[in-house]
Structure 1
Amino acid sequence: MDGQGRKSKEYEQKPVEETLSELKVDRTLGLDDKAVSERRSRFGFNEIEEKEEALWHRVFRRFWGPIPWMIEVAAILSAAVQKWEDFSIIFVMLLVNAGLDFMQEHRALNALKTLKQRLSKEVTVRRNGQFVRVPVRELVPGDIVKIRIGDIVPADVQLLDGDYLQIDQSALTGESLPVTRKTGAVAFANTIVKQGEMLAVVLNTGMNTSFSSVVALVAEAQRQERSHFQKMVIQIGNFLIMVTLVLVLLIVMVSLFRHEPLLDIIRFALVLSVAAIPVALPAVLSVTMAVGAMNLAKRQAIVSRLAAIEELAGVDIFCTDKTGTLTKNQMEVANPEVLEGFTEQELFLYAALASRPENNDPVELPIFSYLDTKLKSVDWKSWKQTSFTPFDPVSKRTEADAEKDGHTVHVVKGAPQVVIEMAGLDEARTRKLNDSVNELASKGYRTLGVGVKEGEGMFRMIGLIPLYDPPREDSKQVIDEMHKFGVKVKMVTGDNLAIAREIGGILGLEQKTIRSSQLSGASANELLNLAEVLATAIYRKLKGDVELREAKAFASDVMEQVGKLYDTRLLEREFIHTHESAIVEMIEDVDIFAEVVPEDKYRIVDTLQKGGHIVSMTGDGVNDAPALKKADCGIAVSNATDAARAAADIVLTAPGLSVINAAMQQARLTFARMKSYATFRIAETIRIILFMTLSIVVFNFYPITPLMIILLALLNDIPILAIAYDNSTIHPTPVRWKMQELLIIASSLGLFGVIASFLLFFLLQQYGFSEPMIQTLLFLKLIIAGHSTLYVTRSEGWFWQRPWPSPLLFGATFGTEILGTIFAVYGLFVTPIGWTYALLIWAYALLEFVINDAIKLAVKRVFLQRNHD
């Protein structure tokens, strides 16, 4: 083999046998272990090398940016005016903030890396003469692989055996339509197989594939999207930064007007800004997301995009594929119908003789399963097939000849109408059987007809075998729980209307059903039907809930005008586009979408998103991939195709859907924690920055020193991280940011904190405390009252109601409060106050805490009353 540098396209000019010779591989045996080992040492693993950020850069990045710059300048100015205690504490604070942030990012990255390794794809490869499953990364040039519908092509390959493949190359070339590839053609890594199954030989792997150049470009341009949740939290952070900077600027201007030393003013302003700005925001985000991902991993759900956990908190519509997602994708036999003169044993014997177990045909497997479990006495294995004609979509049947002990039969299995016609039944029996088939079809069953010709006798029909794809054991429970949590479930399936409606009924979905053609406007009649639905929806929207008869009369008038539009495309543009809100309303109202294609699934998700909904999509097939990618949170179920897994944000590795509800609850927990943090952070910023600003500007008094501000910020950041592990309430409905309510509650808590601080300040002045003592007492009060605010914001009701705080949060907050108390009592970095005054401050802060909790509930009641009115 002359190296792997040859471009894959050049192999298209070569015959397959010449390629195999050059790669030194036998198509019937594949490579042996020795050859694989040699080639791996030469070419490496079949993977695209990801450029990881260097460790030194990740460390250095913590000291570069607006917030670190502020802390660093404050440290330099403290050294310049020889405030070495301040310098030391600021330096420690800088290291602690950088260390905590680095540690949490490192933990999150390692967690994600470990989880993604569990998602490693596998491929069927021929080695040592046998087909085995190996991870894709272990492929080497010369491997003989089997690729089929739904697979992502694992490397650059040349096709060897099989009819054809239809391949989606859009990821590589941008072509919108799949291309057909036959024996001798080259298929490129990371393209998606849409149809077919073939053997292929691996040409190039890893960084030598054609796809590696695309990855290099993507790596430069790729930017991770922020979730709705993250955008809102960052907006809160920006708001706090702006408020802080405005008030700090006011302090600087007043201090300059009073001719205070410039260096002291700048140093104080920087330190105050550091204390008020939410320095811990990035760390809190990364910790909460990493915790959520790890909790889901324990439930065998792997998160490939961390922000998807947070999106799930607001999901109010859950779209799901049927086959393989809500159902087992494993056909089972229902109650068979046997014609007079035959037995159930004969029906299944002849059905088995017209099948082959090695084909693993999903229609034939339930026949063998039924024989193995319920008709064990039938000795079908003693029969010998002498000929077999596989299913033909034109003749719609499978035929076979079989013999046993000199007795020969010709058996047929296929569409019931075909077998009925072959049997030449009379009109009455034909009508009766057709009625049975139609009734089974209305219930969603797929029915097989079975017939036999014994020796030289007449061909006779034996009976009907109904098949159905049963729901998973947990599907109904999952849907019921989603309804309980305020999420509307919609089934989106390619199956026909009858099957979709039958399964939907079993699973407890309402029977509001629509065909995909009613979405796409495929024909004039279907478009007129859609027009009627839209007109009714528009009328009801304008007039309110009215009699259906009035709505239909209005619809009739609209349809008369619609009927004059003979061009369906014009109709779509002029009518549907004009009334997009009515289309959203119609899709919102439908529970089951049947006979859909991938474009329809994408369109449904997109339309619901345009209607203001946060949408989750679940599926397992190639046809689900576009909708999975489009959804706010795409979820691929276990045994999903590579294409679906690659498009999804969360991949389930265990059968069933119950973990989705667990993920939704985890997301709502995360939301509650972040809402608690946001409310606390706004309240605390107002409490500190407004109190400091009014004290300096109005009373010309610095209530706490720059060193105290630094200690306050340091002691605040430690317990903040523990919020990610707190016990929070799981909200019973999808959650969204109610910014007005959040800002008013947080501002109310902050303003009361300012009032409480000034009241304490006036009391201390009244009783003749010295300025250094007042500063220490205020410093201790701000620590205790600030941490206590966490217990106000974390709870929807009174602070003592469940869920109670986690031990970690309680330990972190109580521990830092004790540490701050020790600083104040014994005079570490501050003027000492002793235990008596420290305990009085504790009592004062706890009284403020109880009043704050009552204020929170009073404000919430006002909002509830306003919403009710």
Structure 2
Amino acid sequence: SEKAEAIRIAEELAEKGYRSLAVAVKEDASFRFTGLLALVDSPRSNARELIESIRRLGVEPKMVTGDNALIAKEIARQVGIGEKIVKGEYLRKVSGDEKDIVIEEASVFAEVYPEDKYIIVKSLQAKGHIIGVMGDGVNDAPALKQAELGIAVANATDVAKASAGAVLLKFGLEGVVDILAIGREVYQRALTWIINKITKTVQFTLLLAIGFFILRYDILSLLGMTLLVFSNDFATMSLATDNATPATNPNKWEVKDIMYASSILGSLLLVEGLIAILVGSAMYRFTLQQMQTFILLIMVFTSQFRVIIVRERREFWKSRPGKELTLSIASVLAVFIVLGTSGFMLTPIGLDKTIVALTYSAIFTLSIDPVKMRIFRRFGIM
């Protein structure tokens, strides 16, 4: 029959990614079918490449659409998403654990209703996944709102944009890759700040306590503590604009592992300070005030070089520090070299001893970089 033939042709077109629009002509009180119009909304030429880029970042893309399953299958094939398709009709029939398994294993969801999109997001979240949703219409708003990261495309409706956490300013998927990279860069900067903070706290607290029991006096004066805090603050603030290398896989906060790794690193740097105390008291036979200057310089110099190694998960020379961080470190080193030799604010220990403190801090701190890498790998800090 004419109807069956039209359906057959429409299905053939759907298998090639075409939508079919039936055309009829009104004749008296009825309509006469005259043919089909094939409509196509082809993926962008770089869509497949961008999907692969997203997948290389450890993110598994899924396609959710209200289109016919045959159309969805062809589009998914063209862009490389996958061909394991679940229809909305089947999704609404199953429930419980079976539904969660179906949703997790599927690559493409076709012929879905707006509420199905929300259910898909909730189900994946219940399985422990972090979800990002990209959409443009009013029917995408609930899913955009529910997802950890809702992304509205450039031509999205106002409702979709209001529900999303990010809005793309350009058409295409390029912005998604940029969002993932920027998010991971921010994470790396925050992680560096936390590692540096914990390492510094362990190192300085134990050094001041043990140093007091060894020498029977405070190894850092009140003025020295103030200068130490200020010198550290400049580098710490500069981390906000530092060059960060985004991880190739999704990051996850593991507070316990971060604590363990940072504490071990701080303990290693503690040894550096203890050796400096022994050198200052036994070899150089510093006075109280000279020892306080020497230890202050060691702690300040070590802090600058510590930032250099903890900011990078690989070898410290794999990436260059940001301009602000480089300027901060160079300025602090220069200022404290002057303070250690001039006698301004601090008891001078001479240029030779100041250079010894600088060189010793640099060699010791940078030399533990291979150990740092092993520690980070052991605790999964990447």
Q: Do the two structures share a fold, i.e. TM-score over 0.5?
A: yes
**Corresponding residue for residue 295 of structure 2:** 778
Distance 2:259 2:204 in 1: 16
Which shifted more, 594-603 or 434-443? Answer: 434-443
Pick from 592, 595, 602 the counterpart of residue 118 of structure 2.
602
Within 5 A, what are the aligned runs for 1:285-684? 433-450=6-23, 463-521=35-93, 530=94, 572=95, 576=96, 579=97, 583-684=99-200
- Matched residue of 2:246: which SS? coil
- Matched residue of 1:635: which SS? strand
Pick from 759, 765, 787 the counterpart of residue 281 of structure 2.
765
- Matched residue of 1:617: which SS? strand
- Matched residue of 1:703: which SS? coil
Distance 1:463 1:799 in 2: 67
- AA in 1 matched with 2:300: I
Pairwise CA distance, 1:820: 1.9
Quick check: 1:738 aligned with 2:311? Answer: no
Pairwise CA distance, 1:853: 0.9
**C-alpha contact (below 8 Å) 1:474/1:658 kept by paired residues:** no
Distance 1:863 1:673 in 2: 18
Deviation sequence 1:724-752 (CA, Å, 0-9, x none): 22222121111112334422321122111
Within 5 A, what are the aligned runs for 1:7-156? none
Q: 1:434 to 1:750 in 2, by over 3 A?
A: closer
Pairwise CA distance, 1:807: 2.5
Q: 1:476 to 1:783 in 2, by over 3 A?
A: same
Deviation sequence 1:799-845 (CA, Å, 0-9, x none): 222x2222221111121121122122112221111211100111110
Distance 2:5 2:373 in 1: 70
Pairwise CA distance, 1:474: 4.0
**C-alpha contact (below 8 Å) 1:719/1:813 kept by paired residues:** yes
Distance 2:304 2:193 in 1: 11
Q: 1:452 to 1:860 in 2, by over 3 A?
A: closer
The structure whose residues are more often helix, as a share, is 2
Distance 1:453 1:610 in 2: 52
**C-alpha contact (below 8 Å) 1:602/1:630 kept by paired residues:** yes
Quick check: 1:798 aligned with 2:315? Answer: yes
Pairwise CA distance, 1:699: 4.7
Pairwise CA distance, 1:791: 1.0
**Corresponding residue for residue 850 of structure 1:** 366
- Matched residue of 1:830: which SS? coil
- AA in 2 matched with 1:742: I
Question: Structure 1, unaligned stretches of length 5 or more?
Answer: 1-426, 522-529, 531-571, 865-869
Pairwise CA distance, 1:438: 2.9
Distance 1:583 1:706 in 2: 64
**Corresponding residue for residue 789 of structure 1:** 306
Quick check: 1:717 aligned with 2:290? Answer: no
Distance 1:670 1:465 in 2: 49
Distance 1:852 1:776 in 2: 25
- AA in 1 matched with 2:55: H
**C-alpha contact (below 8 Å) 2:151/2:164 kept by paired residues:** yes
Q: 1:449 to 1:619 in 2, by over 3 A?
A: closer
Distance 2:268 2:7 in 1: 78
Pairwise CA distance, 1:444: 4.1
Pairwise CA distance, 1:619: 0.6
**C-alpha contact (below 8 Å) 1:748/1:855 kept by paired residues:** no
Pairwise CA distance, 1:661: 0.6
Q: 1:452 to 1:758 in 2, by over 3 A?
A: closer
- AA in 1 matched with 2:249: T
Pairwise CA distance, 1:430: 6.8
Pick from 308, 317, 324 the counterpart of residue 808 of structure 1.
324
Pairwise CA distance, 1:655: 1.7
Distance 1:681 1:464 in 2: 67
- Matched residue of 1:844: which SS? helix
Distance 2:232 2:119 in 1: 47
Pairwise CA distance, 1:635: 0.9
Q: 1:440 to 1:705 in 2, by over 3 A?
A: same
- AA in 1 matched with 2:197: R
Pairwise CA distance, 1:511: 0.8
What is the root-mean-square deviation of aligned Cα atoms in Å? 2.4
- AA in 1 matched with 2:302: A
- AA in 1 matched with 2:133: M
Distance 1:460 1:630 in 2: 46
Distance 1:861 1:643 in 2: 44
Deviation sequence 1:637-683 (CA, Å, 0-9, x none): 11211111111111122222211111111111111111111111111
Identity of aligned residues (%): 32
- Matched residue of 1:797: which SS? coil
- AA in 2 matched with 1:786: S
**Corresponding residue for residue 334 of structure 2:** 818
Pairwise CA distance, 1:461: 6.9
**Corresponding residue for residue 691 of structure 1:** 207
Instruction: With the length of structure 1 as denominator, give the TM-score of the two structures.
Output: 0.41
- Matched residue of 1:596: which SS? coil
- AA in 1 matched with 2:301: I
Distance 1:647 1:861 in 2: 38
- AA in 2 matched with 1:475: A
- Matched residue of 2:61: which SS? strand
Pairwise CA distance, 1:594: 1.5
Distance 1:748 1:502 in 2: 53
- Matched residue of 1:804: which SS? coil
Instruction: With the length of structure 2 as denominator, give the TM-score of the two structures.
Output: 0.91
